[in-house]
Amino acid sequence: MKAPAVALLFAAFSFLMPLAATADNDENMTSAEQEIVGLFRPMARLAQPIGMAIRVVVEMSAASGPSPAYMVYKDGVCSLNLALRDNANYQAIFTTHGNYSRKAKLHAMLGHELGHCFTRYLEDRDAKVHGHSLASLTKEEQRDDEVRADLFALAWAAVYNPEEFDEVYDYLWELRFELSEDKGHFFANKAELAQGQNFKPIFGSASPQLLISVATRPSTLP
């Protein structure tokens, strides 16, 4: 696996990509897609009280982009697009150096993408309260969004996968600071990502409110 490929696993601006064919039921999905949908279901339960609709979209091939999972947000609907089939970058997720579990790696990927979508929904809702439409992100805001998405991935692990929180954290650290050669991508720096260590619950699971807190907080250090 070449290091630059790892940098493409979590696409930064993938909400601009078009939708593909929607999967109506699990029978249309591969076992890998069913596995991800199973990990994704808790997010649907979290979204219901705040009014955000969620759906899963399965692409028949990876031809439309290199990222195996990316978010599409539009008009209050968060779509998790899966492009796993014949996608070398999806297989690259499982060939990193550390001895991380498959579940931890998928939680890192899903949490990052869901962080983008969740934050955009809350920004859209706030804009409508003030009579505005959802604005495009500036370059600096795009960078903040990437930082927040990494922190959201750690918050997601703290809530739904606390027993593997350390693995998710170490895996993200390896992706960002040991494997990636993508210098043009605005991921969290070491100090920013280290803030996520504060999310680790002492026992049990963190409260789902942590996800809302991370999605709405300033993402950069003072």
Comparing 1 with 46, the larger pLDDT belongs to 46
Question: 117, 201, 114: which is closest to 159 by C-alpha?
Answer: 201
40 in Cβ contact with 69 (< 8 Å): no
CA–CA separation, 36 vs 109, rounded Å?
10
Give the orientation angle of helix 165-174 with respect to helix 102-129, to 10 degrees: 80
pLDDT-derived band at 65 (thresholds 50, 70, 90) equals: low
The pairing of beta strand 53-58 with beta strand 77-82: parallel
Q: Is the pLDDT of residue 20 over 50?
A: no
Provide the whole-model pTM. 0.81
What was the pLDDT predicted at 4?
31
- Alpha carbon of 153 to those of 24, 71, 110, 156, 197: distances in Å? 27, 14, 7, 5, 12
> Which amino acid belongs to residue 53?
A
CA–CA separation, 117 vs 129, rounded Å?
19
Which helix H or strand E contains 81, and what residues bound it? strand 77-82
110 in Cβ contact with 164 (< 8 Å): no
- Give CA 94 to chain center in angstroms: 17
Helices (H), the chain: 3-6, 31-47, 88-92, 102-129, 139-160, 165-174, 190-194, 209-216
Q: Is the pLDDT of residue 26 over 70?
A: no
> Which amino acid belongs to residue 220?
T
CA–CA separation, 99 vs 90, rounded Å?
17
pLDDT tens figures, 157-208: 999 899 999 999 999 988 888 766 555 556 778 889 999 999 999 999 999 8
pLDDT-derived band at 22 (thresholds 50, 70, 90) equals: very low
